[in-house]
Every structure is written in C-alpha cells, then in structure tokens.
C-alpha cells in the first residue's frame, strides 16, 4: 500500500469526516434509546444496526480496509466472520435443552425456586 | 541484526505481498473476535434464556443503574482516541515525528481518561452498592465484558507508551519499520474501539 503526501492529506480529511459520523451515530443511538418502542426487539435491532454501521466505518477507514487489496487479509476476515456467526448461533442450539412446548424466555420460575427466593428476601 | 531476526518488517513478503507484522496483527485480531464473540454469545444465551419473572429475570435500566451519559461519554473518548491514533500514523507517513508523538501521547491520555471514568463512576460505586459480578447474570457479564475490554485498553496503553518513549529510537534508524509498527498498533487500538461500539448499546441501552 503506497501512500504519497497528497493521499495522506486526503486520508486525514476522511478521518475527520468519519469521526463526525461516529459522534453523530453515538448521539442517534442514545436518542433512539429514549423512544419507547412497542417491541423491545425493535429497540435492540436499531441499536445493533447503528453499532454495525459505526463499526464498519472504523474498520473501513481507520483500519484501512477500504484500501486493502490483500487476499490474505480478506481470507482471514472471511473465516473470522463465518466463525463469529457460528459462535452467535450457539445459543439457538440450546433451545433443544428445553421441552418442546416451552420457548426460551417464556418460562416461569419453578415453584421451589420461587419459594427459596421469597425465603431469601424475607430472611428465613 | 534486527532485520536478520525479523525479516519482512518493511519489504513485502514474497508469498503474501504484505509486511509480516500486518498479517500477524490481523490473525491476532481474528482470534480476539473469537474471544469477545464467545462472550457476546454467552450474553445472548443468558439474556434470551432469562425467565420473565423472579429474581433471575433480566434487569431493566433502572435496576442496573448504569448511566447512558457516562457510557456515552466514554464512547466519545474512545472514538476520539481512535482518531488521534490514526492521525499519528498519518503524521509519520508525512515524516513528522513530533506531531506523531503528540498524537500518540493524546491517545494514551484519552485511554487513561476512559479507565479513570470507568473506575471512579462505575466500578467502584457498583462494588460499594454490592452490585459486583456475583449480584446477577447481568453484572457477571457486565464485569467480564467491560473488564476484559479495560484490560485491552491497558495493554494498548503499554504498547503505545513503549513506541512513544524507548521504541521511538527506531524512527531514527528505520522510519518505515517504525511507521509499520504504529500502523499495527493502530489496527489493534481501532479493534478495541470497535468492541466498545457494540458493548455500549448492549450493556447501557437496550
């Protein structure tokens, strides 16, 4: 990757532009969080979407991927991406640990645990 | 002698076409993605699997007591530190070591500000309130994720300080090698920033 002085000056302007975009992105993330969406999943989706855009900007510009042509680096990133997705899907596999009629997160605390909780709270 | 020990620090490797430090850094970062990825995956598992009621339910914002303002402030601090880091590299490319050192010093200052804010306004008050990692699953994840991230910040500070002080002697003998080392340090530093970009909404907001 050869960079002349003129190239670098252009880069510097781009860095400052990305900084502005990241700062605005942070403000939007916080602002969006103050809107109370009906579905909690929508709020999470929006926050992660903005975070992904910000992360892409950092990787593309600050980490120079925008100018990266090396197949070695892109191959490394491709493997990394695939395995990252696999990692994030591991929790889905655990749904098999629950009885088929029960969906994750919708179950109630078993009675004996609830009783123990209550006892803990009241100090018995 | 150093070139004999470490070949391809400046000139591209005949097979990869890259100076070797750069490919090495990217491979290291790929392993870091797995490390943080596993913890993010644990977060998803514990959050999705939390019951809707009872003491094991996922805490609300009010219950966690984490301030979006402090988290947001630290997000901006890290973003600015990423800018100063990349500006240090750009200054070296323009053969301005004094400017590069000023940017590196600023990066270290911002990193330390991040840690001080984290300790003074978050970790210490949380522990005093009895909300340590053993309080619930949320705080276990919060301290593991942010603690590991903070260790990465401290590691970065050590590396940047090395290149700012004793390591900068290399600039006089082999400026291109020094510039490449700063580029690799920057790759790592931007990655640490990138992780925080996800940690902020995941822990402080949604």
CB-based contact (8 Å) between A66 and chain B? no
Q: Which residues of A touch B30 (CB under 8 A)?
A: 76-77, 79-80
Residue A123 has pLDDT above 60, yes or no: no
Put simply, the answer to whether A77 touches B26 (Cβ < 8 Å) is yes
Residue A112 has pLDDT above 50, yes or no: yes
CA distances from residue B49 to A44, A98, A116, B61 in whole angstroms, order as listed: 16, 10, 20, 18
Considering only the beta carbons, identify the residue of B41, B86, B206 that sits closest to A62. Answer: B86
Provide the pLDDT for residue B1. 47
Considering only the beta carbons, identify the residue of B16, B49, B80 that sits closest to A72. Answer: B16
Task: Give this complex's ipTM.
Answer: 0.91
Provide the pLDDT for residue B99. 97
Residue of A nearest to B21 (CA): A73
pLDDT-derived band at A1 (thresholds 50, 70, 90) equals very low
Residue A124 has pLDDT above 60, yes or no: no
Q: What residues contact residue B92 under an 8 Å CB cut-off, 6+ apart? A: B100, B171, B175, B178, B179, B182
Provide the pLDDT for residue A108. 62
List pLDDT tens digits, range A22-36. 999 999 999 988 887
Considering only the beta carbons, identify the residue of B22, B87, B205 that sits closest to A15. Answer: B87
Q: Which residues of B touch A120 (CB under 8 A)?
A: 55
Q: Name the average pLDDT for chain A.
A: 83
Largest CA distance in chain A: 74
Put simply, the answer to whether A5 touches B94 (Cβ < 8 Å) is yes
Provide the pLDDT for residue B100. 97
Residues of chain B with pLDDT under 70: 1-4
Considering only the beta carbons, identify the residue of B48, B201, B206 that sits closest to A104. Answer: B48
- pLDDT mean over A48-75: 96
What distance in Å separates the CA atoms of residue B76 and residue A19, rounded to the nearest whole number?
9
Most A-contacting residue of B93, B197, B202, B203 (CB-CB within 10 A), to test interface: B197
What distance in Å separates the CA atoms of residue B121 and residue B113, rounded to the nearest whole number?
12
Considering only the beta carbons, identify the residue of B18, B72, B93 that sits closest to A70. Answer: B18
Put simply, the answer to whether A105 touches B82 (Cβ < 8 Å) is no
List pLDDT tens digits, range A4-24. 677 888 899 999 999 999 999
Q: Which candidate, B41, B201, B24, B43, places its Cα nearest to that of A84?
A: B41
Provide the pLDDT for residue A121. 54
Residue B66 to chain A, least CA–CA distance (Å): 13
What distance in Å separates the CA atoms of residue A89 and residue A91, rounded to the nearest whole number?
5
Q: Which candidate, A16, A109, A95, places its Cα nearest to that of B82?
A: A16
Provide the pLDDT for residue A98. 64
Residue of A nearest to B26 (CA): A73
Q: Given the structure tokens 């303002």, which residue do they identify?
A: B69
Provide the pLDDT for residue B54. 77
């Amino acid at each position: 990757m050869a960079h002349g002085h003129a190239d670098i000056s252009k880069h510097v302007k781009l860095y400052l532009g990305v900084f502005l975009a990241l700062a605005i992105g942070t403000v939007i993330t916080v602002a969006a969080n103050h809107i109370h969406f009906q579905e909690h999943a929508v709020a999470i989706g929006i926050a992660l979407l903005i975070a992904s855009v910000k992360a892409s900007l950092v990787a593309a510009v600050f980490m120079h991927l925008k100018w990266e042509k090396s197949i070695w680096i892109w191959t490394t990133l491709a493997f990394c991406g695939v395995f990252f997705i696999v990692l994030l899907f591991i929790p889905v596999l655990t749904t098999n640990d629950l009885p088929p009629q029960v969906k994750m997160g919708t179950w109630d605390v078993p009675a004996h645990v609830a009783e123990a909780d209550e006892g803990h709270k009241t100090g018995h | 002698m150093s070139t004999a020990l470490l070949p391809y620090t400046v000139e591209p490797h005949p097979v990869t076409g890259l100076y070797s430090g750069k490919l090495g850094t990217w491979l290291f970062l790929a392993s870091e993605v797995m490390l943080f990825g596993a913890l993010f995956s644990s977060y998803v598992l514990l959050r999705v699997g939390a019951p809707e009621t009872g003491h094991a339910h996922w805490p609300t914002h009010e219950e966690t007591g984490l301030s979006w303002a402090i988290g947001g402030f630290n997000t901006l601090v890290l973003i600015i530190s990423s800018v100063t880091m990349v500006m240090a590299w750009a200054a070296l490319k323009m053969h301005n070591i004094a400017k590069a050192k000023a940017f590196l010093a600023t990066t270290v200052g911002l990193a330390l500000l991040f840690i001080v804010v984290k300790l003074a306004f978050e970790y210490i008050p949380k522990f005093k309130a009895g909300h340590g990692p053993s309080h619930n699953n949320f705080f276990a994840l919060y301290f593991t994720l942010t603690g590991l991230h903070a260790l990465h910040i401290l590691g970065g500070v050590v590396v940047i300080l090395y290149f700012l002080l004793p390591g900068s002697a290399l600039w006089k003998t082999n400026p291109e090698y020094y510039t490449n080392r700063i580029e690799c340090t920057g790759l790592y530093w931007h990655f640490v920033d990138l992780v925080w970009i996800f940690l902020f909404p995941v822990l402080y907001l949604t």
